[in-house]
Structure formats: C-alpha cells, structure tokens
Structure 1
Amino acid sequence: MSCRYLVRRDLAGEIPPEIGSLSALQNLDLSFNSGLVGEVPAELGSLTSLVYLSLQQCGLSGMIPPSLGKLVNMKFFALNNNRFTGEIPSALGALVNLTWFDVASNRLSGPLPVSTSSADGLGLDTWPNIKHYHLNDNNFSGFIPPELGNAPNLLHMLLEVNSFSGPIPVTFGNLSKLVILSLHYNKLTGPIPSTLNPGLHQIRVSNNQLSGTLPDLSALNQLEYVDFSNNSFDPQPFPAWLNSSSSTLQTIRFENGSLTGPLPVDILHYPALEGLYLQRNQLNGSLTIPENIGKALRYVSLQSNNILSIVQTAPNTTVLPEIQLEDNPLCNKDTSGLVEVSPTLCSAEVESIGSNSSATKWISPLDSNNSCQSPCTNSWLTLNPYDCNCGVPLIVTLEFRALTSSNIDDDALWESLRNQTVIVDQLTEDFIKTSFTYQKVTYASPFKPEIVIGIEPSRDIGRVVSGISKAVIIGIAVGAGALLALVAFLALVVLRLKRRAEEERKKNPFASWQKAEAGEAPSLKGARWFTFDDIKSMTNNFDDDNTLGVGGYGKVYKGVMAGTGAVLAVKRAQEGSKQGAQEFKNEIELLSRVHHNNLVGLVGFCYEKAEQMLVYEYMPNGSLTDWLRGGKSDQPLDWDRRLLIALGAARGVAYLHENANPPIIHRDVKACNILLDKSMNAKVADFGLSMLVPDEHDKRNHTIKGTTGYLDPEYYATSIMTPKSDVYSFGVVLLELVTGKPPVSRDGHIVNQLKNTLNRAGLTGVFELLDPVLVDTPVQDLDTFVKIALECVGDTSIERPSMHEVVKQLEALVGPKSYFMPGGDNTVSAKPEKRKQRLLVKVPNEFPDGFEPASGQVSQASASASSQQSFSKYSGGFDPSPR
C-alpha cells in the first residue's frame, strides 16, 4: 500500500498517531506541506512494512522519534528542511537496509551516533548499504566519527555548515565510491588526507581551519569542483596536481589562501573550466592569456595578488572571459592598452562619489597620488578623477554693465557682480552650480554639464534707497532688458542644440556607446559589438549552407569567428521583424543583463547598414524538437535525460519570471525554443523586450502572440498575458516529452487527448499515448510527471503552479542529482548514467483518486532481468519513487 499522492496538498495540522495502524503501508510521502506541524508521532514506528519515508520541507519540529528504528525495511529516509531539534537517535542504526539518509537543514545538534560510542551499539555506521549521508546545515558538533569511513557504497558525504571540529578522518580514503565530499563551513583542523577516492568529483572544504600543505592528489583525475578557500594552509605554489583533472575541472576556488609563485601558463585553457577564483593570495609573475583559451571560461578573479603583467597570445577577436585584477602591481601602470583584454581589468565596484544614491559604478584605479591615469590631452580636462574620462573645459564670463549701485546694501556683493569670472577646473559628474543673486540667469552648455545656474533673489531687492535719480533707474532698466535679451538668445541656441542632439539620438541611439573597431559596448557587460563585415565573414556572406533555421524573427545562421574558430549563432532580422533603433538598443541592454545556465546567452549584436542582428552562443545539439521528432529522433532520449531537460528548461523560464530585472514573460515557450548544448543541458531561447511583464494597467495586448498548440486558452480568450501563460506552454512541452507527439496532430490537441484518456481509462490508458522509448519507465515517475504536466495545463491561471513551484516538483522527482546540474544550487554538470530498464509486471493499485484504471485494463508485460535500478553517480542508491 502506498500513500504518495499527498505532496503539495496544502495539508495542515499534525500527523495523527492513528497513522500507525496502517501496517501494510510501504510508501509515505507528505513532503512540501508547510502547514504540517508538530512532532512526528512515535506510532509511525509501527509501520514496519515502510520502505520509503519522505517528510521534506514541512513545518515539523521536536525530536526524531527513536521508534523509527523499528522500520527495518526502510531504504529511503528524508526529513530534511524542517525544524527538528535534539540529537539523531542511535536506534536508527537498526535500519540496515537504508541507502538514503537526509536530515539536512534542520536544527539538530550534538555528536553523530556511532556503534563504538552508543549504549545500544548502533549508529550511523551500522548501515552497510548506505549511499547518502545528507547531514548538512544543522548544529552538529564534535569530531567527525572515523567510523563513517566504513561505508563501501557511499556516494555523498554532505556535512557542511555545522560545527564539526578536529581532523578530517583518514578513513575517508576508504570510501572507494565517493563522488562528493562537502565539509565547508565547519571548524575542522589539520591537513587534508593524502588518500581520497580517485573518482571524486567535488571537494569542498572552504571556511575551516585546515593547515599544512595540500597533498599530491594527482590520482584524482575526475575532479569537477574544488574549493580550498579561507583556511590556514602553509604558503605553497599553485597545486600542479590539478593538471590531472584539467579536462574535467569546471570550478577552482582557493580564495584568501597562501598560494605563491606564478600562475601556471596553461591554466586558462582547461577546456571545461568556467570559473577561476584565486583572489587574495600571493601569486606573482605574469598572467598568460593563451591563444587556445578555454571556451567555457567565464570568470577569472585574481584581485589582491602580485601579478606584474599580462602576456596575451590570444588574438584580439577572441571572446575573452571577465578578468578581475584590481589591487595588483599591474594596475599601478598604464592599462589603457589592455582594454581589449577586459574593460574592467583593474576595476572595482564602489559607491558613486558625492552622491546620496545607492547606485554603483565601475571606477578605474588611481595612482599613488590619487590621480587619474586617463590619457587626456592638454586641451581637455579629466571629467572625474574617479572615472578617468575626458571633458572639454569651459570658462564662462558674465559681465554686468550697469551703473554703480553703491547706495544698495551689501556693496561688496554688487561689486562682485559687475564683472565676475567663474573658472571651473575640476568637473564632476554631477552638475556644478554657481549661483548669482538678483538676476535669474542660466547658461546651459551644449557640452554638459550645466555649470552656471542663477537663482531667485534671496533678499528684498524691491527696496531702494531714496535719492536714486531717474537716469540711474532708466540705466538699470535698459541693462536688465539687454541682459534678458541675451538670456533669451542663449536659450534659443541651447534649445536648438538640444533638439538637434535629440534627433540624432533617435536616429542612432548607439552613438553614445562610442563603438570601437571590435570590442564591447561600454553600456553592456559581456555583449560585443560586431561590425557587419564581422558577421558577413563569420557566416560566409550569409551562405544558405550555414542556415540553422528560419523563424518569425528571421534566419538563424551558424557563424565561425576567424582566428579563434569559435562557433556562434547569428539571428538576422527580416524586414518585418525589425524594431526602431531605440527599441533594438533597449532589447540588447535587457538581454545583456539576463544570465543563467539554462538560458541561451547573448554574445553580441550588430546594428549597421540597416541590419539588426543578435549573436548568441551556439547550441550544437539543436532543439528538443529535433530529438523528439526531427533529424535526431533516431537517437531517442531516455527517461533520465528527459527529466533533466524538463528541469533545466523550467529553471530557465523561472529565472525569467522571478529573477530577471525587469521580469520577463517568454510568450513562446515550446520544444523548438528549448536548445541543447554539447552536454545536452537545456537552455531556453528566444526571449526579449516585447516580453516584459506588463504593468497592472497595461496587461491587455490585442495581438495574440505565440504558437498554435502552446497557447494558454485563458490568454487566447482575454488577450491578457501573465507568467501563468508560460506555465501552460511549459506543461504542453512536458506532455511532448512523455508522449513524443507534437502539440497538435490529426488526433487533436495533446492536452485534450491526455485528459480524455485519463477520464476514460485512468493512468493505465496513458500507456496508449506513451512514447514507445519510455515503455519501461517506472510507473511512479510517470504518474508524478503527468500530474505536474496536468497542473501546468489547467484551464485557468489560478489552477496552475508558478514556474518556481514547477522547478521544485521536478527537483523532487529528479532527486538529489538536480542540485548538481547547471542552473541548480551548485554548478556541476549532471551526467546521468542510464537506468537499468525494467518492464512493468503490472500496474500496481497505487493510483490517486480519479486515476484508477478501468476494470480489466491492467497491462501485463514480461519482467526484466533486473528489478533494481542503477542511478547516476549523483543520485545513487535508491529510487526516489520506490515500488
């Protein structure tokens, strides 16, 4: 008997003790019900048939009942993300069949129980089949028990964010299948063991008190992520043994460490390396930017070292990562020749000078005299010593030629007004204001900033002293009239100049970016301005042989950059798709701010010769449509890969809805807009300016946009687009993944087909629609996946979950490997091994209300040779959807 359909059901209250009477219950999953509070009843220990227990992310509290140690058939135990307190009861050591133990993100404390120290001789070390210790984010203390190293099948050792002290047990070297060792944010001391599993993919030991030198771990040739930051290691050179993992390393972190000597010449051409974080060390010598720089590299952080120079062998046309070198001796020199390397090479982000605004800006370094190093000519002044930009100097003289007003109070003031010269020799970004009383005079320079601004009189000037002659009064009036005429003339000149500048800005809004021959637009971060000739060369004059596809926007070409061989995708707008220049510029600025592992990244753009082109990263494995029904359909996607594609795409759309600034509605989520990179990671494409989330007062758009089969029926009826419209389209994609069918076919709409089939024959009937490749999919996986899809394609937006909720549901289905794929909580690429397939002997009687199969429709199939499933190196051990 199973009770697995109460996930996310908004359950509230406490778990009743009567649940202990369900003696035949095997699977119990009450996860993601935040209203479920109170303690876990001890009677739960009476469910001796229980194999799967998941109470994740509820509101449960109190201590873990020792009676749960009676559940000797238990394989999967997850109480993570609750408020449990106290110690782990040693009685749980009796769960000898356990493979998965997860109590992460609670308030548990005390030492970990092991058999050698507990009164009952039980503990976490008496689980012979354990594959996952997930104990992170608690308050555990004491030494890490060496006995935990006696787990021959262990894949994950997650003990980070606790208060463990003492050394890392040398017995961890016995963990021959360990993939992830995560011990960061503890109080560990001593050296790192010299013997660790050669198959390790991640070592995370940052923010401890580890000492000594790093051992030679060259036997570890599959590392993907290492973090040794913020410890107390002895001074040492950059570890050469990392070269043994040069083909797999994606992230190297050794911040605030003790690295000395030069950086290895070849470090930047590691092919998989995405981030190198070595700030606050004592590295010296030169930084070499090689010709064959790694294509995956995005960020190099070397601040606060002793780097003296840069050796650049890469051609100027190479797309380089962001490199940060501030607070190095190199930055005390003239770096103007290194703009091609990185515009922010020696930059830091600080508060704007002289401003109450919280906005920040990039500033360039100052020399020892706090002077700007900008190469301004003698005829130009530095606009701002913190910006190192140049501006024209202006000297403005205003002469007041009126009769002496010696009879008016404050003679000194009036005398100064007769001939006052204001010399501005240090301009700032803010307007510089010099105020004059009596006359309201404003001179607005066409060069900006406005440097002379008059104000209203601050004293009563209507009071005149008796004795002023008529001639004096007439003279004052004539002088004031002449001054007003001058002001009017200047105002007309300024108005004309402003109007001309505005017209020019509308014609070419990119003019202010000061395009160089080939480089980045100053307003953007990471988006390169390509010339038309660049694109023409890349695409072989837009040769049809380089066409990747044709869409509503225009043709998409494959482009190859000369010199580097970097492959890019060029999207060329056709005549009917071109925007106004300002709109195109706004779209580029928006896209350049959107960065996520599951979104296709903007590399650059071209606005020249009446052309509008966007340059994106190239996705070598095409679209999801290609793999389901196109040219790659002869290479079918297995179930695990489809799950990961669904999760990756969901994360991309969720980022657009919740993290983009401003939020973005995609409007056209569909299988052909989900692209796959070389590692088969999903990336969502084709989002832009026209898809901004509308204001409450501007939601209606009478032009229906989207693709037939994916359109939200509520949007179609009301013309009101919301993020839930994307959710509906994504639900259709999920149905495509499970059926392999297009959204609309001769059989009708895929959503209607599925709903009709479920009403007619229950979940069993879904096998009629199932992609034949997925015939061996575990029924629980299929059931959960279809339920998520059906929630997404609810008739009204209120019935549908948010994309954030969809991501969480898919993460729960995929299992822990979801946290180590791109776009998840960590950035390790998921490389799932294919599950050993099994045929379903029968559809079990485990369906939720409304899903029961009709009488006589239980399908039969021959059994597979293996009833066990082998999961990927990241999930390992136990099917999160057990039978």
Structure 2
Amino acid sequence: MCKTKMATNAASPTRISRSQTRATQSPTASSSRPTAGPTASFSDRASSSRSSSSAPYSGSTGYRLSSDTSTASRTSLTSLRDTLPENPHIYQFSEICAATNNFLAKRHSSSGSTPCWRCTLRGADVILFQRKFRRKLQTSQLQNLLALVCRSHHVSIIKLLGASVSGDHIYLVYDFVNGASLSDCLRNKNNAHFTVLSTWISRMQVAADLAHGLDYIHNKTGLNINFVHNHIKSSAIIVTEPSFNARVCHFGAAQLCGEIEIQNDKLTEISEEPPSPPARSKQFEGVRGYMAPEFQANGVATQKTDVYAFGVVMLELLSGEEPLRFRFDDQTRGFVRTSVIEAAMAAVDGGEGELRKWVDRRLKDSFPVDVADKLTRVALECVHVDPDKRPNMGRVAGKISKFYLASRKWSDAIKIPDITLSLAPR
C-alpha cells in the first residue's frame, strides 16, 4: 500500500518487504518537515488549536503562539468587529428629549439650516438632526429602510446609528466626527486669507474621499438600491485632521424622510399607496448653487442631480469661492450675480494663464497646472446642463484617483529639503 505524501521530501513509493517496512518506520520520520515559526498564517494558527484529530503530526510540529502574535490577532479581530455594521437603534422620543434637554441645549455650530445637536445617546457621542417628513412612513417601513441604510459602511461616510420619530419629524442619529465643514475650511469667517487646506495635496485628498464616498452611495452598497444622497454641499462634508480626510454627512436622510421614493424589489412588500404629490413649495427645497436645472424644474432628486452638486463642490475646492456670490458693479450701480461654474468655464477657455488666476490664490501658485486643468474639466462635465451627459460617479472616482496619484508624484518631485532659509539682510 502506498504512503500518503505528507513530508516535503516525499518520493514515489517503491515495493519493499515487510521486514524492511518495519525497519524503516520510525517516529522521527516526520522530523524532516519544517517547523512553523511565529510568522505562520492565521489559518495555520487556527488549525494548530484543533484537537488531536491530526495526532500523528501535532506532536512533531509543535505550533507555539507567542504573546505578540496572540495580541496582534486579538487586535485585528477587534478592528474587524468595529468595521462591521450594527443593527440600527430605534430610540424612544423620551431619550431624544433627555439628551437635548427638551431641545433647549445649544445647537451644534455647523448645523446649518437643519436643527442639530451634539449629545450623548446610550453612551455614544452622537450628532442628532431634526428633519421633517416629506412622505410619512409606517413604523415597519421605517425599520426596513433604516436597516438598509445602516447596513452600508464606508470610511468616507459618517455612520447612521439609528432614528426616532415624533409627529411630523424624524430624528436621525449619526456618529459624531470631530472636524470642520468643508465650507468653513475654505472660507474662514475670521480671516479670509487663511485656510487649513493650504496645499494642493490636501485638496486632492478631499476630492478623492468625496468621489469614492459618493460612488459607494450610488454604485457600491451591494443592496440593489439606487441610493440618492440629495444633500451634497460643502457644508455637509466634514474634513478631519491631521490627514484632511473628508467624510460625507446625511447619508440616508433623503430616503428616511421620504424625499426619495425607492423603487426596489426588496421593498415592494412594505410599499404604501402612491402618495399625493408634495406641495409645490416643497418641491424646490435645496441649496442655491447646488441644485441641477432639472431639479429646479420638477423637484425630483436623482443620482444625476447628486453628480451636479458634486461638480459644484469640486469647483469650490479648486477656487475657494462660493457657488453663487454677488458683487457690486460700479457701472450699473447694482449687484451682479457671479457663478463659480461660469468662472470655471471662462478660466478653461482662457488657457493656462487664466486657469492659474482662477485657482485659489491661497495655494500660492503651487500646484500641477495640468492636473488642475483636468480636474476642472471633469467638474464641468459633472455640471453639464443635460443630465444624460453627466458622467457616472464610478468613472469620476476613477479619474480623480489618477489625478491624486499624479499630484502625489508631483509633490514628491518638488519637495524642498527641511532647511531654514533667510533672505533678510544681516
């Protein structure tokens, strides 16, 4: 009978006599196999902890996990557990009232037009948003939608923890992320000449994070649902220190508030009767400068309207300017509205010189012009008047990733040695 080839130096068996077989069989036959060191893979370490079902080899291999390896394994498992989505929390309204002192607590400084409080709920540091229903949902519907949204997880998206409902309002509870909004980073109210995003790489980091986050919302959740964000704007993007990573706020708010009607087989069993059309005043809720032309016409938010708003944010990031602003014209003696989209179009048409003038001066002309030109053109594609001509976010994210790598290569090439230089007279 042929032996099993378990040893690393096993060869094809040859016919031998029984006496030779008894002479050659020895407990040390397995000693020629290499002994696994502390760097064995996770699967090897797991197999070593099994019982003596593999007894002929357990004694000779002698796997021993060092304390460092064991600690590293526990750390990796803890990190993995932290990244897994949890079940959503359905908060009692009494919990919301207690956490906000019956809504008398000071509102969060960067809440914008949406009432918002930073508080503690069930031991977690959270940010609480109060929103009004556009389309009232039943409790079972809300729970299903909430479970779908909370199942999504991406490093560039602020995590939704749960919600509470009272009357016509829904209270969305998100994980609190320490940082500042992109609008505040670009336009410091106390000092217009200062910005924390003072390098080209920091702005490309924000662009890449935002692009991949929105691409995930549109295409990568794996839930077969066409998610729409519907609240993309510079004030809804949090920039964190020290690496200047960007994270998107308000994911899931459009669905949970009834702003978006989800068409999906998974939700057919909880769909309600078609609601009456929303009031005309409700159809145009949005932020000026970020609303796509078709959204202003019909009030229907789609992934293409998200792409439009994303393009506006990219132009803000490049120029540092607001989407819309008004300047006083000396000739007409009145205020004239200027758009960041129109200014970007003029800069691209004017060539390299005009583009360098248009890009934020606080970057001190230190950026790769070719990358800035390409990024501006991609942003202008996103704000095309025809929604069918706007690119998909997957394509946009791929391009911006290439721009980021090119920018990193440019930054490494011009890096100045860490020396002190003084040009002052001595």
TM-score range, shorter chain: 0.5 to 0.7
Aligned to 1:636: 196
Instruction: Find the aligned partners of 1:694 and 1:732 in 2 and give their Cα distance.
Output: 28
What is the CA distance between 1:237 and its match in structure 2?
2.9
Preserved CA contact (<8 Å) 2:188 2:195: no
SS at match of 1:571: strand
Aligned to 1:732: 312
* 2:145 is the counterpart of 1:556: no
* 2:83 is the counterpart of 1:275: no
Residue correspondence of structure 1 range 426-437 to structure 2 within 5 A:
none
TM-score using structure 2 length: 0.66
User: Residue 172 of structure 2 aligns to which amino acid in structure 1?
Assistant: L
* 2:42 is the counterpart of 1:229: yes
Preserved CA contact (<8 Å) 2:230 2:305: yes
User: Residue 751 of structure 1 aligns to which amino acid in structure 2?
Assistant: I
Instruction: Find the aligned partners of 1:275 and 1:725 in 2 and give their Cα distance.
Output: 35
TM-score using structure 1 length: 0.34
Alignment equivalent of 2:354, drawn from 765, 772, 780:
765
RMSD: 3.9
SS at match of 2:161: strand
Preserved CA contact (<8 Å) 1:646 1:734: yes
SS at match of 1:570: strand
Aligned to 1:623: 181
Preserved CA contact (<8 Å) 1:211 1:231: no
Instruction: Find the aligned partners of 1:639 and 1:242 in 2 and give their Cα distance.
Output: 42
What is the CA distance between 1:769 and its match in structure 2?
2.1
| Max Rg structure | 1
What is the CA distance between 1:546 and its match in structure 2?
4.5
Higher mean Cα deviation, 525-534 or 604-613? 604-613
Residue correspondence of structure 1 range 222-621 to structure 2 within 5 A:
228-231=41-44, 235-237=63-65, 239-240=67-68, 267=75, 274-275=79-80, 297-299=82-84, 525-551=86-112, 554-561=114-121, 564=123, 566-573=124-131, 579-582=136-139, 584-607=142-165, 612-621=170-179
Higher helix share: 2
User: Residue 770 of structure 1 aligns to which amino acid in structure 2?
Assistant: V
Percent sequence identity over aligned pairs: 22
Preserved CA contact (<8 Å) 1:599 1:652: yes
Instruction: Find the aligned partners of 1:723 and 1:608 in 2 and give their Cα distance.
Output: 29
Alignment equivalent of 1:783, drawn from 373, 382, 390:
373
* 2:399 is the counterpart of 1:809: yes
SS at match of 2:42: coil
What is the CA distance between 1:671 and its match in structure 2?
0.9
Q: 1:778–1:798: structure 2 CA closer, same or farther, 3 Å change rule?
A: same
What is the CA distance between 1:667 and its match in structure 2?
2.2
Residues 22-64 of structure 1: per-residue CA shift (max 9 Å, x gap): xxxxxxxxxxxxxxxxxxxxxxxxxxxxxxxxxxxxxxxxxxx
* 2:326 is the counterpart of 1:746: yes
Preserved CA contact (<8 Å) 1:623 1:673: yes
Alignment equivalent of 2:246, drawn from 682, 698, 708:
682
SS at match of 1:547: coil
Higher mean Cα deviation, 540-549 or 655-664? 540-549
Residues 123-161 of structure 1: per-residue CA shift (max 9 Å, x gap): xxxxxxxxxxxxxxxxxxxxxxxxxxxxxxxxxxxxxxx
User: Residue 414 of structure 2 aligns to which amino acid in structure 1?
Assistant: Q
What is the CA distance between 1:551 and its match in structure 2?
4.9
Residues 449-475 of structure 1: per-residue CA shift (max 9 Å, x gap): xxxxxxxxxxxxxxxxxxxxxxxxxxx
Preserved CA contact (<8 Å) 1:711 1:725: yes
SS at match of 1:612: strand
Alignment equivalent of 2:260, drawn from 691, 705, 721:
691
Preserved CA contact (<8 Å) 1:539 1:546: no
Preserved CA contact (<8 Å) 2:352 2:369: no
Higher mean Cα deviation, 232-241 or 636-645? 232-241
SS at match of 2:358: coil
Q: 1:607–1:642: structure 2 CA closer, same or farther, 3 Å change rule?
A: same
Preserved CA contact (<8 Å) 2:232 2:310: yes
SS at match of 1:568: strand
* 2:386 is the counterpart of 1:796: yes
Instruction: Find the aligned partners of 1:657 and 1:793 in 2 and give their Cα distance.
Output: 17
Preserved CA contact (<8 Å) 1:600 1:616: yes
Preserved CA contact (<8 Å) 2:315 2:376: yes
SS at match of 2:165: strand
* 2:294 is the counterpart of 1:704: no
Higher strand share: 1
User: Residue 196 of structure 2 aligns to which amino acid in structure 1?
Assistant: P
Q: 1:211–1:551: structure 2 CA closer, same or farther, 3 Å change rule?
A: farther
Alignment equivalent of 1:214, drawn from 18, 21, 38:
38
**What residue ranges of structure 2 are gaps of 5+ in the alignment?**
1-32, 49-60, 265-274, 328-337, 418-426
Instruction: Find the aligned partners of 2:339 and 2:263 in 1 and give their Cα distance.
Output: 29
User: Residue 723 of structure 1 aligns to which amino acid in structure 2?
Assistant: Q
User: Residue 87 of structure 2 aligns to which amino acid in structure 1?
Assistant: G
